[in-house]
Amino acid sequence: MKSMIDKYFPEMEIDVSWYSKKRTIGYSSGHTDLNSLDQLVKDCQKCDLYKTRKNTVFGDGDKNSDVMIIGEAPGREEDEAGKPFIGRAGKLLNEFLKSIGLNRESVYIVNTVKCRPPENRDPEISEINACSDYLDQQISIIEPKVLVLLGKIAANRFLNEDKPMSDLRLKKFFIEKYDIPAIVFYHPAYILRSPSQKKRVWDDLQFLHGILSPHGS
């Protein structure tokens, strides 16, 4: 995958000089492995979500992946199991990934917050901010080449763009803080609510596939 990305981005006239060197990301606070960071998250009481959680939901997948997928917040099933995207939306995400030759074992999946908001409500800004350093450190440790932002909450967290999804999709954004390009997808839960809109998610997937494998291989 790395060779395909390295080959493709120069063709798109995107500066990828950061690919060939070890990146030093200034926001890391010193945690150099995911296990110690995971334990820090398990002990976290930075916001009130710790009072109602059953488990923290840290992340899952290939720790060396070029692709990091970032969702919004854990749901009931994720809270019970301590793993992201295992409910209905997660199963649909698995099918989406398979359609372009990926699977959840070949990407790394996280959320903007590590604990389930009560009643599956949207996470509040204060809760997202409380988890922000953990997510920054995950990005620093994994060093993905592409961030895939699922839904408006994840998009707003990284892009600071209060725009409708239709204005954010099918574009590449360069996140200067991380030296990483990002793209925005409709969240799989959107398709569960509006199955007639699946063509839009297919367009999102083809956009990512074009980035990872320009020749369709």
Q: Give the model's pLDDT for residue 214.
A: 56
What is the homologous superfamily of the domain 27-212 according to CATH?
A: Uracil-DNA glycosylase-like domain (3.40.470.10)
CA distances from residue 189 to 85, 124, 192, 195, 213 in whole angstroms, order as listed: 10, 19, 5, 10, 26
Model confidence, pTM: 0.81
Q: Per residue in 82-121, pLDDT tens? A: 999 999 999 999 999 998 889 889 999 999 999 999 999 9
pLDDT value at 217 more than 60: no
Q: Per residue in 141-198, pLDDT tens? A: 999 999 999 999 999 999 987 788 888 999 999 999 999 999 999 998 888 999 988 8
pLDDT value at 206 more than 80: yes
Show the tokens assigned to 161.
Answer: 């763009």
Strand partners of residue 111: 71
Q: Give the model's pLDDT for residue 190.
A: 87
Instruction: Fill in the amino acid letter for 17.
Output: S
Q: Per residue in 32-76, pLDDT tens? A: 699 999 999 999 999 999 999 999 999 999 999 999 999 999 999
8 Å CB contact between 180 and 108: no
Q: Supply the DSSP string of 51-110, one letter for each residue.
A: GT-SS----EE-TT-SEEEEES---HHHHHHT-SS-SHHHHHHHHHHHHTT--TTSSEEE
Domain ranges of the chain: 27-212
